Amino acid sequence: MTERQLKYRAGMFLILAHVFVILLVIVLFFMNGFDAGQFTTLFGIIMPMFSGYTAAIIGFLIKDRYTMDDATQWITGTFAFLFFLFPALFALVIMAAIWAQAHNAVFRNFEEFKTFLMTLESAFAIYIGLFVYSLFQKQSVARRQRRAP
């Protein structure tokens, strides 16, 4: 897989994960899993978690909209695997925690849940940041791509 292919596949995966987490929170709110105060607090915690890398991905997609040829380098299978693994784990753990809190299954109270989410965000931010920003923020000087007329 080339770097550009990975950017598109991983970018769409990450954006969809973001959308699914948001939809899960909304659905659970309407199913009375959260009260209005918890719902807004939860959004205040979750949106910054995903917004940083989602903005980088959307920025790449906008900038790359006219690229017709893929002249990017091939990436290793290990990099591609790890690129998907960490964000997938992050999204799954976030969704499981949200589901558990909505059903009062794990956390003693909402404050404990908030602390867990913020700690999780801090722990995964390093790993996700390394992969996402390394791929979506750099611009290779050696890359020459033909643009559409």
pLDDT of residue 138: 54
Torsion of CA 64, 66, 70, 74, to 10 degrees: 0
pLDDT of residue 70: 87
pLDDT of residue 101: 95
pLDDT of residue 40: 95
Q: Is the pLDDT of residue 118 over 70?
A: yes
Q: Is the pLDDT of residue 2 over 80?
A: yes
127-146 pLDDT, tens digit per residue, is 777 777 777 765 443 344 44
Average pLDDT over residues 34-40: 95
* Residue in the structure block whose two tokens are 């091939």: 74
Query: b/e per residue, 61-75, with b = 16+ CB within 10 A?
Result: eeeeeeeeeeebeeb
